[in-house]
Structure 1
């Protein structure tokens, strides 16, 4: 008997023409975990596994139209944000959330820099990100470079991660998942910080370059769990297992940072 689809996840993010990150990764992850994905596209990018070579912003009125139509018809159980490149984009999304979806949990993945180093956030948008979007977040999911930009501190080890996680909580979200993949160690440590304390999630580092879109994928996998009724800790636990297997079984496409195997949960028919 086919598995039923459960949990509506509305994703506001940029498109990745290479299919490994952005809304393409978001849709794959949500679908692979049994949820229903909807997207409000914030920007188009020209990219592949070697890097980002162009960004074409979506006009603000069209972004607003996408959001209005989705909320007014399909609704959402969770909202997940990814690449929001400018202050007006962030303002538009928060305005719509305040008008139409006050009590829908918001997962904020503060995408600022692409894997290859290309900046994806206007410098003048940082304050808007902090003052409006992060303040409303149910969960914030930065990697270490993003956390350094948000806190102004340098993160060299797990002790620094603990300090940074506490600083990020002070920005307003009730939960922060600080991802430690950028540290040089054989074990990847992610910290989930809430008002109840900090839990460390640990997993062996998987050698290889197929890590494009890990942040987008993890945040969307967590958002799917929340949309399906899981508590934050359980949603993070399931999402990390999903992403770990997706990295371990990656297809090896491309000459740069390759995509994950998003569909490892899908079983072939006999």
Structure 2
């Protein structure tokens, strides 16, 4: 029987992110995504103009109707949540659908480049920590990891290229602080550094468990695009549902996203439009 993942995320008409990314990636991996929208947007919020229809009050309708159907999920994956009220709705969803054989992946969207996003409050941050502590897998970027670990997130915005070992050590230490409170695996995304031998700028994802840490890195293409974090977290969720080894999933996802970003740079795709990933989805069908 096809594996199923409930995907709790927003849907943006433009921007190649959120549910658009999750549905295509998870489907390509042979897993059924079951979307529960937290909001419907004409375009992701990086665009100069967009309309947002908040779905907070509709989230319980999805939960109740799916419960009537006797729905069961192999995984639950949460992405962008617009406020603490939506996090409360997610807890209600977990009370209904999180079973012994269900995994919970939380992508704790809160900030980037050393700063928390302006739309989020201290209360939201506190509630997000509670959700993270219930998760099995968490995929924060370095800024979000600092916020979750109670550290000054401005340090994540500092230039750390060239001090690879220091940042890995510090990131692993903060990740294990989270692991001590609940999650089994933390993947710290978007770690940038310069390879000391080649001088190549790199970007990596650090897999951290209670006892081990493994960095999977690729050359940095020099640009950033909307939705790459969503592509990555979606691939991790799909791989988990398929039963793939986490290191294999992270490696393949990194390769796919790198190719998509290189194609986008070559074709001068605007950052807000998101990485040109569709032509590389076939890579995620591979299983080692």
Residue in structure 2 matched with residue 137 of structure 1 by the alignment = 135
Q: Secondary structure at the match of 1:51?
A: coil
Deviations 1:181-212 (A, max 9, x none): 4x354111221111231111121112334x21
Range moving further from structure 2, 49-58 or 103-112: 49-58
Q: In the alignment, is the contact (CA less than 8 A) between 1:46 and 1:52 conserved in 2?
A: no
Residue 231 of structure 2 corresponds to residue 217 of structure 1:
yes
Tell me, in whole angstroms, the C-alpha distance in 1 between the residues paired with 2:140 and 2:30. Answer: 25
Gaps of 5+ in 2: 161-166, 195-200, 284-288
Q: Give the helix-richer structure, 1 or 2.
A: 2
Aligned equivalents of 1:236, 1:86: Cα separation in 2: 29
Deviation at 1:40, TM superposition (A): 0.6
Q: Is the 8 A contact 1:43 1:58 kept in 2?
A: yes
For 2:81 and 2:132, how far apart are their aligned partners in 1? 12
* Residue matched to 1:82: 79
TM-score of the two chains, using structure 1 as the length reference? 0.83
- Count of aligned pairs between the two proteins: 259
Aligned counterparts of 2:256 and 2:29: Cα–Cα separation in 1: 9
**SS of residue matched to 2:226:** coil
More deviation in 188-197 or 120-129?
Answer: 120-129
Q: 1:206 to 1:63 in 2, by over 3 A?
A: same
Give the Cα–Cα distance (whole angstroms) in 2 for the partners of residues 194 and 120 of structure 1: 31
Task: Give the secondary structure class of the aligned counterpart of 1:234.
Answer: helix
Residues 187 and 207, structure 2, Cα contact 8 Å, conserved in 1: yes
Quote the Cα distance in structure 2 between the aligned partners of 1:15 and 1:121: 19
* CA distance in structure 2 between the aligned counterparts of 1:95 and 1:148, rounded to whole angstroms: 27
1:243 deviates by 2.4
For structure 1, the 5+ residue unaligned runs are none
Check 1:264–1:189 CA distance in 2 against 1; reply closer, same or farther (3 A cut). closer
